[in-house]
Amino acid sequence: MAPQRRAAARGPDCCGAAAGPGRGGRRCHGSAKRSQGQQESWWRWLRALFLLASAAIGALVSWRYLGAEDGVTEVLAQHQENLQDKFIEIPCSEDYDSQKRFEGCTPRKCGRGVTDAVVTREEAERIRRDVRQRIQQRIAQAFGINSSAMYLTKPTFFSRINNTEAKTTHDEYWHPHVDKVTYGSFDYTSLLYLSDYSEDFGGGRFVFMDAGSNKTIEPQAGRVSFFTSGSENLHRVEKVQWGTRYAITISFTCNPDHGIGDPVLT
């Protein structure tokens, strides 16, 4: 009997030449299509995931950028609060090193504070000399200096801000600035607010522009905010959107040559 021939074993590739044109070939083509479909589905999923991740990253970057532009990340004093005393110490800048130092007055301790316990709402409507003295004493207490070493300095001014369009660059109050750079004599700055945020006006909050985390103060009538005047306290005022914001800036110097007498209110 002639020996039987064994069929050659098929290779692992079902779509090889051994498959022939029969059913195996049709099954192989179907399997290839399914494999290709799964691959395309996988790539579609990856593309969707990539787009979603890109959108999330873009949203995060935009949020951080807009948040930095808005400059409001933490409110130090809300207008509804009644703050007896709030003080935050921060490192002093080098601004005070380039000028003559007056021992017991020139800032060695720097920071910012806000209180509703110095002036009542009623007193805010009729400012007198004793109000200035009480603010001066509170600043001296907060920074550990002698109030008698502080002198009222100019400009001490009343501000009335609304949403009227600025006519000159001097009217553009919203730009970031440092008081010691703008007004060379300033060592300590204070503001006495005479109107209420969100009730008498919108916008107009006071913003300390710290690196990475800005702080805001919401004005209320009778509230006093105060701070050392160097670049450790870079700040700005938000644009007033509606209503009118009233405040008085009362500033102090350690240099008696830059001191002025109390203004007379008539």
**Residues whose CB is less than 8 angstroms from the CB of residue 172 and which lie 6 or more positions away in sequence, other chains included:** 166
Tell how strand 215-217 and strand 74-77 pair up. parallel
Beta partners for residue 250, in sequence order = 190
Torsion angle, alpha carbons of 85, 89, 90, 92, to 10: 110
Edge-to-edge strand list for the sheet holding 206-208: 74-77, 215-217, 206-208, 235-237
Other beta carbons within 10 angstroms of residue 112's beta carbon come to: 24
Cα–chain center distance at 261 = 36
Reference 203, options 72, 51, 28; nearest CA is: 72
Answer positive or negative: Cα dihedral of 102, 105, 111, 112: negative
What is the longest distance spanned by two Cα atoms in the chain?
A: 137
Beta partners for residue 248, in sequence order = 158, 192
Edge-to-edge strand list for the sheet holding 224-228: 86-90, 110-115, 224-228, 188-193, 245-253, 151-161
- Known catalytic residue: 245? yes
Which residues are marked as active site? 245
